[in-house]
């Protein structure tokens, strides 16, 4: 296990111990151990374990040293497995309710005997939760709202989580004997920020081995259907996946149909009808005549001796007088008209990115050091990396005082001067926008940085007019380079605060401020639905991972989906520019 994976285990142990009502000092020991691990590098951890020197690290005693060594060496910890088994499942499940932590769950269990979400819901409706010391009416209302949101959000999954499950499955399907083509479809292929379920389309002659392989995948909790050409499974995460196996000549049509969206498909079918054709998952056939679309497609195949007329989606669109429409644009929002006129943009691609600006280190709430983050950026082939740790008002994120920030600036300058890495590191900060719109540092401090990402991290309940004015005030500050996560939303967890996006975009354009597309799979903010019009008016985007660890840098992939859905090109995105061009931009 890596140090961050071990730290996750220690954090979870602390949470579970708190649920059990263990001594607070014991709970804090595991939390402190997690923090201590994050402050050292993976290579250093390996050395300390090999030399049996781990307990020399502040915050790691004998007991923790043994557990960390066991996790690092074997990837497992018997103590952790037994602890998980000792917790009532309903209590752990209640941790998924926003705003409900271990202490409150323990109180609900000890004083009211609540051990499940169903029992908690009933107790809230009965008013017994509000009557409990330390809770009250407002807490009860928040718990009920959290339960309701959990139910609604539970039907969707983050794109990133779905993609991590789908990617090895597609790769495995393509390697099976007899499979000529395999792709994922649906909202995953269109790059929507959340996914309801997975769809896999496979071209194969021999169906049975494909179905057997698919239903036998690791982490499949239940096989809900298994037929001659279809199979459905549900994974342990709750995500459902459907497999459809079609003849090769039907593959392009099935892939297009099951990619969607519904609006896009309806519009394309209407276009086909206008040409005397019927488009469906079965094929493109004459609209006139007897029989279903499937029967007509089979008749057409027989008449042509089984030869493929339309081999792929490019040819499918061409048959309807259109240029190829990338899956991300298939939302029924003018893409067909643009494809007809040859006006679809050349969308930005992952390989176009040369770096990113919104990233954190262990100096604030990150989990990897400056050197580790830079090494990871270099491994990705990035020319530059921006470090933007939290500012002093973000106490919850170990925000940097002026002194600590300037110390980090010096460290970054020294790192660049050492030529240890090919990747250049820019000095920055994620500066809190205070409730009145002021920035968290004085101008003299901000002037020592290469750039400033201004973000809202508190006072989310301000009304729309106040929040909008607050953000615009920060945009108007001459030291603000870019605006971070416009709405502060956390997908499937928390709605964004109320803000007039159009007015904020207007202000950013007027003052030459970049707005980020925060690529964290939990955020994807500013929403892709705003980007097309904003970019047409000159707004510049920066696709930033908001990475808090080295692995987080790769999550720019999720942000690129949203950038493409927003019709953005390479020219619209700041971090597709060369190091020299970015230096010139920031110097202004």
pLDDT of 294 over the 80 cut: no
pLDDT confidence tier of residue 227, bands split at 50, 70 and 90 = confident
- Rounded Cα distance between 370 and 44, Å, is 14
Instruction: Give the pLDDT score at 149.
Output: 77
Instruction: Give the pLDDT score at 494.
Output: 86
Strand partners, 223: 233
Instruction: Give the pLDDT score at 300.
Output: 65
Instruction: Give the pLDDT score at 43.
Output: 85
pLDDT of 305 over the 60 cut: no
| Mean of all residue pLDDT scores within the chain | 94
Instruction: Give the pLDDT score at 38.
Output: 82
Strand partners, 426: 386
Q: What is the pLDDT of residues 395-446, one digit of tens each?
A: 999 999 999 999 999 999 999 999 999 999 999 999 999 999 999 999 999 9
User: Considering only 7-21, 243-257, 335-349, 506-520, which range has the smallest mean pLDDT?
Assistant: 7-21
Instruction: Give the pLDDT score at 301.
Output: 66
- Hey, what domains does the chain have and what are their CATH numbers? 3-153 (1.10.150.110), 155-246 (3.30.460.10), 260-344 (3.30.210.10), 350-587 (3.20.20.140)
| Rounded mean pLDDT, 495-520 | 97
Instruction: Give the pLDDT score at 309.
Output: 83
Q: What is the pLDDT of residues 22-56, one digit of tens each?
A: 889 999 999 999 988 888 888 889 999 999 999 89
CA distances from 444 to 45, 437, 441, 449 (A): 38, 18, 8, 10
pLDDT of 308 over the 90 cut: no
List, in order, residues 6 or more apart from 14 with CB less than 8 Å away. Answer: 27, 28, 30, 31, 34
Q: What is the pLDDT of residues 153-197, one digit of tens each?
A: 678 999 999 999 999 999 999 999 999 999 999 999 999 999 999
Residue that the structure tokens 């989310």 belong to: 460
Instruction: Give the pLDDT score at 475.
Output: 98
| Rounded mean pLDDT, 1-12 | 91
DSSP codes, 405-461: HHHHHHHHHHHHHHT--SSEEEE--EEEB-TTS-BSS-HHHHTTSS--EEE--S-TT
User: Considering only 13-22, 494-503, 537-546, which range has the smallest mean pLDDT?
Assistant: 13-22
Q: How large is the greatest C-alpha to C-alpha distance in the chain, in angstroms?
A: 82
pLDDT confidence tier of residue 370, bands split at 50, 70 and 90 = very high
| Rounded mean pLDDT, 64-92 | 92
pLDDT confidence tier of residue 236, bands split at 50, 70 and 90 = confident
pLDDT of 150 over the 70 cut: yes
Q: What is the pLDDT of residues 441-488, one digit of tens each?
A: 999 999 999 999 999 999 999 999 999 999 999 999 999 999 999 999
Instruction: Give the pLDDT score at 12.
Output: 93
List, in order, residues 6 or more apart from 273 with CB less than 8 Å away. Answer: 287
List, in order, residues 6 or more apart from 353 with CB less than 8 Å away. Answer: 382, 543, 556, 560, 573, 575, 576
pLDDT confidence tier of residue 307, bands split at 50, 70 and 90 = low
| Rounded mean pLDDT, 68-76 | 93
Q: What is the pLDDT of residues 104-148, one digit of tens each?
A: 999 999 999 999 999 999 999 999 999 999 899 989 998 998 888
């Amino acid at each position: 296990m890596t140090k961050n994976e071990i730290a996750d285990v220690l954090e979870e142990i602390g949470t579970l111990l708190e649920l059990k009502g263990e001594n607070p000092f014991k709970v804090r020991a595991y939390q402190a151990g997690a923090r201590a691990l994050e402050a050292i590098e993976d290579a250093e951890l390996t050395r300390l374990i090999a030399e049996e020197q781990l307990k020399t690290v502040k915050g790691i005693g004998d007991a923790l040293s043994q557990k960390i060594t066991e996790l690092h060496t074997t990837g497992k910890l018997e103590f952790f497995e037994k602890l998980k088994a000792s917790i009532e499942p309903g209590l752990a499940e209640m941790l998924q309710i926003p705003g409900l932590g271990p202490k409150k769950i323990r109180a609900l269990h000890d004083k009211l005997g609540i051990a499940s979400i169903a029992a908690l819901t009933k107790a809230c409706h009965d008013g017994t939760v509000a009557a409990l010391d330390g809770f009250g009416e407002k807490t009860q209302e928040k718990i009920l709202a959290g339960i309701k949101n959990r139910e609604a959000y539970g039907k969707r999954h983050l794109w990133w989580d779905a993609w991590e499950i789908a990617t090895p499955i597609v790769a495995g399907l393509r390697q099976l004997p007899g499979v000529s083509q395999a792709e994922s479809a649906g909202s995953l292929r269109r790059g929507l920020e959340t996914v309801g379920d997975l769809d896999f389309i496979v071209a194969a002659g021999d169906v049975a081995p494909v179905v057997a392989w698919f239903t036998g995948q690791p982490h499949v909790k239940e096989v809900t259907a298994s037929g001659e050409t279809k199979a459905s499974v549900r994974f342990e995460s709750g995500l459902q996946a459907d497999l459809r196996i079609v003849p090769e000549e039907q593959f392009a049509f099935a892939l297009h149909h099951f990619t969607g969206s519904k609006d896009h498909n309806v519009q394309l079918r209407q276009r086909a009808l206008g040409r005397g054709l019927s488009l469906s998952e079965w094929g493109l056939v004459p609209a006139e005549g007897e029989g279903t679309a499937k029967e007509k497609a089979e008749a057409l195949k027989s008449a042509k001796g089984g030869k493929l007329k339309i081999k792929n989606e490019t040819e499918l669109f061409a048959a309807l007088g259109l240029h190829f429409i990338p899956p991300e644009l298939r939302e029924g929002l003018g893409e067909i008209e643009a494809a007809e006129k040859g006006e679809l943009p050349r969308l930005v691609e992952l390989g176009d990115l040369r770096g990113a600006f919104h990233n954190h280190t262990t100096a604030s709430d990150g989990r990897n050091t400056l050197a580790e983050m830079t090494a990871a950026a270099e491994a990705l082939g990035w020319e530059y990396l921006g470090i933007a740790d939290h500012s002093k008002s973000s106490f919850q994120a170990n925000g940097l005082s002026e002194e600590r920030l300037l110390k980090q600036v010096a460290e970054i300058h020294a790192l660049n001067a050492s030529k240890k890495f090919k990747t250049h590191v820019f000095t920055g900060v994620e500066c809190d926008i205070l409730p009145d719109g002021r920035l968290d540092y004085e101008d003299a401090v901000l002037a020592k940085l290469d750039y400033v990402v201004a973000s809202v991290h508190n006072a989310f309940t301000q009304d729309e007019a106040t929040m909008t004015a607050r953000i615009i005030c920060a945009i108007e500050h001459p030291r603000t380079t870019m605006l971070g996560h416009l709405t502060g939303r956390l997908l499937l967890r928390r709605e964004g605060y109320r803000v007039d996006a159009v007015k904020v975009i207007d202000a950013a354009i007027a003052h030459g401020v970049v707005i980020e597309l925060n690529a964290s799979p939990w955020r994807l903010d500013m929403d892709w639905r705003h980007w097309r019009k904003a970019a047409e008016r000159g707004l510049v985007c920066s696709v930033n991972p908001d990475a808090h660890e080295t692995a987080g840098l790769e999550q720019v992939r999720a942000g690129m989906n949203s950038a493409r859905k927003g019709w953005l090109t390479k020219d619209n995105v700041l971090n597709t520019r060369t190091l020299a061009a970015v230096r010139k931009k920031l110097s202004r």
